[in-house]
């Protein structure tokens, strides 16, 4: 195709089409770039920065940076791994993530990312914040102690559910997820089947009365590391 874009990731030639981001092109080629806020069905957001790569020597978020002809992308390097490890470390200590007690364990993308990066325990000091839990809804609860401010619920509600349930409010350390109701989640039009609920990568938004319906040991990341599905696409294509 005349409009095909070619660039490289860690020395491997990648083909893209105009309008694709580096992350989208990498996924299509079976090259895994770690990410948390990015989701294939949602618009790019660039909030978590776990997908940071070097493009022609400069750090960029792969989920928002457009693919361009001839660019040289560094992804799977010691330097990028150190950056991602530090980011994931900070996400753990800025919230209250007790994996052994969390129903999301084994299905949690933050936990799975830590395992992939080789994080056994965070290097930074825990902050142990005290954030409110909203269990007023009959089907869903929010535990803001586990929220990593990825914005997936905000985007999924608007883009997939056609609702305006979640928004960010506040700035800096006071930034948090809020709902469009004065007295909590029960006053919103959120339904338990909404995509905004399943879009949460951690245990911040969970459905009630389904805890441990999938036993530990049979969960998404119990046997295969996060990103294995993308890498399997590359392997099956014989690239």
Could you tell me the residue ranges of all domains in the chain? Answer: 5-76, 85-207
Convert the pLDDT of each residue in 14-25 to its tens digit: 999 999 999 999
Strands 5-9 and 72-74: parallel
What's the pLDDT band for 236 if we cut at 50, 70, 90? low
Give me 10's structure tokens.
Answer: 């860690």
3-state SS class at 73? strand
Q: What are phi and psi of 16, to 5 degrees?
A: -140, 165
Q: Give the H or E element holding residue 105.
A: none
Work out the average pLDDT over 138-146: 97
Work out the average pLDDT over 144-149: 97
- 5-76, what's its fold? Ubiquitin-like (UB roll) (3.10.20)
The distance in angstroms from the start CA to the end CA of the chain is 19
pLDDT (0 to 100) of residue 3? 85
d(CA 190, CA 213): 22
Work out the average pLDDT over 193-214: 96
Is the pLDDT at 58 greater than 60? The verdict is yes
DSSP state of 42: S
Is the pLDDT at 2 greater than 80? The verdict is no
Q: Which residue has the higher pLDDT, 239 or 119?
A: 119
pLDDT (0 to 100) of residue 238? 54
Question: Got the DSSP string for 130-179?
Answer: ---EE--SSSEEEEGGG-----HHHHHHHHTS----EEEES-GGG-EEEE
Work out the average pLDDT over 126-134: 94
Is the pLDDT at 102 greater than 90? The verdict is yes
Contact 229, 136 (CB under 8 A): no
- CATH of segment(s) 85-207: 3.30.70.20
Q: Give the H or E element holding residue 79.
A: helix 78-94
Contact 177, 168 (CB under 8 A): yes
pLDDT (0 to 100) of residue 232? 83
Q: Give the H or E element holding residue 60.
A: strand 58-61
Work out the average pLDDT over 167-191: 95
């Amino acid at each position: 195709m005349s409009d095909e874009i070619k660039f490289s990731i860690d020395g491997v030639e990648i083909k893209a089409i105009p309008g694709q981001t580096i992350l989208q092109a990498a996924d299509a080629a079976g090259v895994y770039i770690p990410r948390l806020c990015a989701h294939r069905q949602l618009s790019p957001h660039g909030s978590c920065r776990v997908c940071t790569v070097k493009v022609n020597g400069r750090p960029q978020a792969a989920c928002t940076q457009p693919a361009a002809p001839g660019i040289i992308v560094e992804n799977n390097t010691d330097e990028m791994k150190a950056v991602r490890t530090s980011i994931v470390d900070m996400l753990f200590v800025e919230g209250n993530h007790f994996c052994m007690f969390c129903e999301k364990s084994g299905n949690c993308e933050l936990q799975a990312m830590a395992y992939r990066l080789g994080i056994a325990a965070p290097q930074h000091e825990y902050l142990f914040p005290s954030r409110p839990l909203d269990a007023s809804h009959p089907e869903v609860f929010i535990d803001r102690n586990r929220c990593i401010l990825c914005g997936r619920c905000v985007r999924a509600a608007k883009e997939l559910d056609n609702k305006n349930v979640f928004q960010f409010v506040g700035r800096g350390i006071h930034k948090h997820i809020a709902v469009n109701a004065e007295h909590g989640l029960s006053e919103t039009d959120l339904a338990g089947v909404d995509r905004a609920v399943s879009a949460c990568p951690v245990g911040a938004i969970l459905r009630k009365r389904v805890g441990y319906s999938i036993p530990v040991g049979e969960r998404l990341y119990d046997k295969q590391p996060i990103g294995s599905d993308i890498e399997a696409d590359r392997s099956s294509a014989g690239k």
